[in-house]
Structure 1
Amino acid sequence: MPNPYLDWIVYQKLCQGEIKLPSTMAKRLTCQYLTGEHPFLRYAAIKMEYLYRDPDIVMYYDVLTGGVKPANFRISKYGALSDKASPTVAQVSRRVSAFTNFDMSSAEPLQVVNYGIGGHYTPHYDYYRPNEESITDEDGDRIATVLFYMSDVAQGGATVFLDIGVSVFPVKGAALVWMNLHRSGEGDLATRHAACPVLLGSKWAGNKWLHESGQEFLRPCGLEYQSADMHLKLPRNVPTTIS
C-alpha cells in the first residue's frame, strides 16, 4: 500500500529531477536504432533509448512531425480523435504499430491533452484496477501506453514513475512507451506514474492506449504472475534507492 507522505516526498524529488538511477541500473541502459521487417522501419529506422529495464520504459525519438496549431474557434483541455477523424490521426496509429509491433484494431482513440501552468496528473495506473469498469470488456485491459510529447516544456511537466524512481522530461516529437500488464495479464504495479506540474510554458501531450485484443499471437500470454516484457527477455532489475 503506497505511503502518502513518502509518495509526496518522492514525487517532489522526481519532478525536480533530483533522483538518479543507481549505477547498477544505469549501466544496463542502451540506445539503438530500431529496425525490422515493417516497411516503415526499413525506410527509416527509429532512434530508441531504454530509460529503465524491467519494467521496460522506452523513449522513441522523432516519431511525430509537424506541430500544434492554435484554433480560435475552440478552447479545450482534452480531446479524443479517432483514426477516421483525419488522415493524420490514422498515420499516428500506423506509426505506433510500426515501432511497437502491436495490433491497433482494439486501440483507444488518440487522446490529446493540454496542461497549462500548474497542470498536472496525480499518481495512477493506466490499467484497470479491481472494481473499475473498463471501457470495453471485449477488448481486454490496456496492455501498453504510448505517450507522445507534442511540445517541449520550458520548466516542469515531467512524467515520473514513483515506485522505480524514474523521471522523464518532455522531448518534442518523442514517444514514451511502457507495458501496463505482465504476460500473465496482471497489472504491473511498478508502472504507477504521474504528470508533474507545468511551472513555465505549456505542455501538449497525446496518449494512445493499446488493448489486449488482437495481441494474442504478437505477445503470447505467460503463466507466471511477473515476467519480462517488451521486445527483449530481460533479467530482474536492482531496486532503486533514494538518498
Structure 2
Amino acid sequence: MRLCAEERLTRGKTSKRQRALSCRYSTGGGNPRLMYAPVKEEVEWDEPRIIRYHDIISDREMEILKNISRPQFSRSEVYEDGEARISVVRVSQSVFLYNDPVEAVSQRIGDVTGLSMETAEQLLVQNYGIGGRYEPHVDALGIENDRIATFLIYMSDVEIGGATVFPIVGVAVHPKKGSAVLWYNLHRNGEKNLNTLHAGCPVLMGNKWVANKWIREFGQEFRSPCSLSDWE
C-alpha cells in the first residue's frame, strides 16, 4: 500500500500514545438534545486535542449535501496575503452552501462541541478526486474573529490515501464515512496553535468527500473562555 510521506512518518510515532487514548459517550456537556442520544466520541490525540465523533451525520444528509454541491463546484482556493486565489497546494473542488440545506447538521455541530454557530462560516463541501490533496497548512488566518476550531466531516471512505495528517505531532486521521473530527486552531490565549499544522494526503484510489465547518471566536466568550496565560 502506498502512503504519502507525512502519513508514513506517523505510523511509528503514535502507537504508544494512542494506547492511552479513550472513547466515551458524550452529551456535549449536558446538552438536552443529547441526553437520550449521546454521541460516540473518540480522542484521536491529546495535544493538540483531536476528537472524532462517530455516526455524526446520516447517509441521507450526506447524499443531500453531495447532490446540491455537485452543480455548484469550482476549483478550491487558498488564502494568501489576505486574498483568495487558486493554488497548486490545494487540488479539489468545493462550494460554500450559503443556504444550509441540512440545518440539523449545523445544529448538531453546535450541540456536540458546545460552541455557538451564530458566527461560524457556512458549511464548505469539498470533493477530492484521484490526486486531490491539500499541502500542510493551518486553518487559523491570523485575523480578528479568527477560526477558533475546525469541524471536519467525512462523507466517504477512501480506498487508498486521503488521510488528514498532522506532521508536527505525527498523527494521521483516516477518512471514515459518517464521522467527523474536531480540533482547536487557537490556544486559549488566542495565539495560533502551530501543532495544528495539517495536510490532506493525496487520494490514490477512490473519491474523498468532506464538509468543513470553521467556527469563529466571536460568540464563544462564555462557551470557551479565553486565558491570559502565555502557555495555554
TM-score interval (norm. to shorter): 0.7 to 0.9
Checking the alignment, whether the CA contact within 8 Å between 2:96 and 2:122 is kept in structure 1 is yes
Residue-by-residue CA offset, 1:163-197 (whole Å, 9 max, x unaligned): 00000110001011000000100000100000000
Offset, 1:72: 11
Secondary structure of the residue aligned to 2:131 is: coil
Change in Cα spacing, 1:210 to 1:70, as seen in structure 2 (3 Å) is closer
Instruction: Write out aligned runs for 1:128-167 (5 A).
Output: 128-129=141-142, 134=143, 137=144, 140-167=145-172
Please tell me whether the aligned partners of residues 15 and 160 of structure 1 are also in contact (alpha carbons under 8 angstroms).
no
Cα distance between partner residues in 1 of 2:231 and 2:190: 9
- CA spacing shift, 1:180–1:73, aligned 2, 3 Å: closer
Are positions 1:192 and 2:192 aligned together? no
Matched with 1:97 is 110
> Residue 80 of structure 2 aligns with which residue?
none
Q: Give the TM-score normalised by structure 1.
A: 0.79
Q: Does 1:29 align with 2:21?
A: yes
Per-residue Cα deviation, 1:48-97 (whole angstroms, up to 9, x for no partner): 11111021001000001023355798273211013x342x1x11110001
Q: Give the aligned partner of residue 121 of structure 1.
A: 134
Tell me which of 62, 74, 77 is aligned to 2:71.
Answer: 74
Aligned match for 2:119, one of 106, 116, 140: 106
After superposition, give the CA deviation of every residue in 1:83-136 in whole Å (9 maximum; x if it has no partner): x342x1x1111000110000011100000000000000000000014xxxx4xx
Q: Give 5+ residue unaligned stretches, structure 2.
A: 74-92
User: Does 2:39 match 1:46?
Assistant: yes
* Alignment match, 2:81: none
Secondary structure in 2 aligned to 1:74? helix
Q: State the distance in 1 between where 2:68 and 2:121 align.
A: 24
Aligned to 1:65: 58
- Per the TM alignment, residue 154 of structure 1 is displaced from its structure 2 partner at its CA by 1.1
Q: 1:222 to 1:156 in 2, by over 3 A?
A: same
Alignment partner, residue 232 of structure 1: none
Identity %: 44
Pairing 1:176-187 to 2, within 5 Å after superposition? 176-187=181-192
Per the alignment, in what secondary structure is the counterpart of residue 35 of structure 2?
A: helix
Q: 1:183 to 1:116 in 2, by over 3 A?
A: same
Q: Deviations over 1:203-243 (max 9, x none)?
A: 0000000000000011111111332xxxxxxxxxxxxxxxx
Q: For the residues of structure 2 that align with 1:85 and 1:72, how far apart are their CA atoms?
A: 11
2:56 is the alignment partner of 1:55: no
- Name the SS of the counterpart of 2:108 in structure 1: helix
Unaligned runs of 5+ in 1: 1-9, 228-243
Aligned match for 1:223, one of 212, 228, 231: 228
**Are the equivalent residues in 2 in contact too, given 1:158–1:169 (CA < 8 A)?**
yes
Alignment check: 8 A CA contact 2:44 2:50 kept: yes
Give the aligned length.
Answer: 206
Relative distance call for 1:116 and 1:99 in structure 2 (3 A) is same
More strand as a share of residues: 2
Q: Please name the residue that 2:84 is paired with.
A: none
